[in-house]
Amino acid sequence: MNCVEFRLKELDVEHFEIREVLRCILHTIFFHRALGLVRPKDIDLELFDITYVQCGDVDVEKKIEERIDHFIERVEKHPNKKNEICLSFYEVKNKQATWFTNKVERLYWEQWYINLNVAQHHPKAHSNKSNPSKTVVDPGESAPEERNARRAALESSLREVMFQIIKFVNEKKDHVPSVPNLEGVSFPYEITISSSSDSAFGMEMFKRMLQTGHPSILS
């Protein structure tokens, strides 16, 4: 099985914009990979004039928030490293157990790579933990005109990424497996976060290539 890779346009963001941008991108991908009946929920971004759709699945929402928290922690601990999120969909294959392998093997069939270039010169801001949909905004010390121009550019780029996702899922379909007989709204998935210097992540990706074959890359 070949694993198809989709690399989305890199976005330049401020620290306080990370959460809303990642929510928008990840939920948009999940919605277009949803299984069966879902309860779509329109979400209006607070920082941008953009509306995206969630599947209405509590488990997916919780997992996305956990991984975004992890991503923000990585950015704060390693501000000068490039951090990347990879959303992977896979099939589960049962294997005969041996002394060096598990009974279950993951066969990755699609991976989405999200890169954010986080600016380091502005003060940080955090989401309201008591209400994750609320974001505390700290625009920093830039002039209003500069902030507005930069925000407009990011909003345009985020829209472009959303159209990129729609384009990819409509053009590339042959690799999508048959719908599994599983509960939940999504194919089996995982969300991983890596830094540019993570050798362990690189080795993990190499092992996946050995399992699934060379990936096809779209960008």
Q: Using one digit for the tens of pLDDT, what is the confidence trace for 161-212?
A: 999 999 999 998 889 988 766 666 888 999 999 876 554 444 444 444 444 4
CA distance 101 to 1: 19
Q: What is the mean pLDDT of residues 88-108?
A: 77
Would you say residue 82 lies in a domain?
A: yes
Is the pTM higher than 0.75? The answer reads: yes
- C-alpha span between 171 and 120 (Å, rounded): 37
Query: Model confidence over 99-108: pLDDT tens digits?
Result: 666 577 889 9
Distance between CA atoms of residues 45 and 127, nearest Å:
13
Q: Which residues contact 138 (CB under 8 A, 6 or more apart)?
A: 16, 122, 123, 124, 125
Give yes or no for residue 114 having a pLDDT over 50. yes
State which residues form the domain around 36. 4-121+144-194
Q: State residue 211's pLDDT score.
A: 46
Count of domains forming the chain: 1
Q: What is the pLDDT of residue 125?
A: 47
Mean pLDDT score across all residues of the chain: 82
Whether the Cβ atoms of residue 91 and residue 110 lie closer than 8 Å to each other: no
Whether 28 has a pLDDT exceeding 50, the answer reads yes
Within-domain flag for 135: no
pLDDT at 5 over 90: yes
In a domain, 214, yes or no: no
Whether the pLDDT of residue 160 is over 70: the answer is yes
Instruction: Give the pLDDT score at 179.
Output: 74
Cα three-residue angle 176-182-186, rounded to 5 degrees: 55
CATH number (domain holding residue 74): 3.30.900
- Residue 75, domain member (yes or no): yes
Q: Which carries the bigger pLDDT value, residue 196 or residue 58? A: 58
Q: What is the pLDDT of residue 9?
A: 96
| Number of helical (H) and strand (E) elements in the chain, helices listed first | 4, 8
How far apart, in whole angstroms, are the C-alpha atoms of residue 149 and residue 155? Answer: 10
Residue 72 lies in a domain: yes
Q: Give dist(CA 187, CA 84) in Å, integer.
A: 22
